[in-house]
Chain A
Amino acid sequence: DVKVTQSSRYLVKRTGEKVFLECVQDMDHENMFWYRQDPGLGLRLIYFSYDVKMKEKGDIPEGYSVSREKKERFSLILESASTNQTSMYLCASSLRGQADNSPLHFGNGTRLTVT
């Protein structure tokens, strides 16, 4: 079974802090994603990566950056945390495939509260 592990289940940070959310997958997947999930809005894509050192902006990249130095690890960085970044953050991975049924495999999420 694919395992996607997020380093923290709950985090509380102060406004203006730099925050790192870490995600590791153990199935040699090429693609990795960061989503945030908010009530009534569903999952929104922040950034994704289809290869080491490659990154692409998703739908809501503002205020975030990412790092993918190794294939198995994808980090989300909040450069200066703000209260509107309080949310559930979900990391996911998938096999490379342009027209296949490769699903996303999600981690258990990190609930971040910014005060």
Chain B
Amino acid sequence: GQNIDQPTEMTATEGAIVQINCTYQTSGFNGLFWYQQHAGEAPTFLSYNVLDGLEEKGRFSSFLSRSKGYSYLLLKELQMKDSASYLCAVRDGDYKLSFGAGTTVTVRA
């Protein structure tokens, strides 16, 4: 089976940095995705990593270490609108994505 772990909740202050960790043990690996999901809305794609290293996209960055089965999503210069759930997902074959339970981030003023 697939095992994808991430913290349940995190709280941070507006303007700060938050790092959301994700560890995975899956039967295969063909890419790791991060999604953002605001309450009551559909998940939206944030980032993709398939090779080791850091991918930067504006205020958001994502890191992958395949040997450690580890990724993190870094959110910089936090804004109130960043309050949401962040979902880590691993593609373990050609098509399927398996998801972690999600991390709810609360940004406080």
* A contact set with B: CB distance below 8 Å: 4, 31, 33, 35, 40-45, 48, 50, 56, 58-59, 90, 94, 98-99, 101, 103-109
Task: Say how far B27's CB is from chain A's closest CB, in angstroms.
Answer: 12
Residue of B nearest to A9 (CB): B40
Contact B99 A90 (CB under 8 A): no
Task: Say how far A5's CB is from chain B's closest CB, in angstroms.
Answer: 11
Contact B94 A98 (CB under 8 A): yes
Contact A41 B101 (CB under 8 A): yes
Residue of B nearest to A38 (CB): B101
Task: Say how far B48's CB is from chain A's closest CB, in angstroms.
Answer: 4
Task: Say how far B40's CB is from chain A's closest CB, in angstroms.
Answer: 8
Contact A106 B87 (CB under 8 A): no
Task: Say how far A40's CB is from chain B's closest CB, in angstroms.
Answer: 6
Residue of B nearest to A49 (CB): B95
Residues of B within 8 A of A4 (CB): 42
* B contact set with A: CB distance below 8 Å: 1-2, 4, 8, 30-31, 33, 35, 41-45, 48, 50, 87, 89, 94-102
- The verdict on A109 contacting B99 (CB below 8 Å), with A99-B30, A101-B48, A103-B48 known, is no
Contact A108 B33 (CB under 8 A): no
* A42 and B4 alpha carbons, distance in the complex (Å): 10
Residues of A within 8 A of B87 (CB): 42-43
Contact A45 B44 (CB under 8 A): no
Contact B95 A103 (CB under 8 A): no
Contact A43 B99 (CB under 8 A): yes
- The verdict on A48 contacting B95 (CB below 8 Å), with A42-B87, A103-B45, A108-B41 known, is yes
Residues of A within 8 A of B101 (CB): 40-42
Residue of A nearest to B1 (CB): A59
Q: List 20 A-B contacts (CB under 8 A).
A: A4-B42, A42-B101, A43-B87, A50-B95, A58-B96, A59-B2, A59-B98, A90-B43, A94-B95, A101-B31, A101-B48, A103-B33, A103-B48, A104-B43, A104-B97, A105-B45, A106-B44, A108-B41, A108-B42, A109-B42
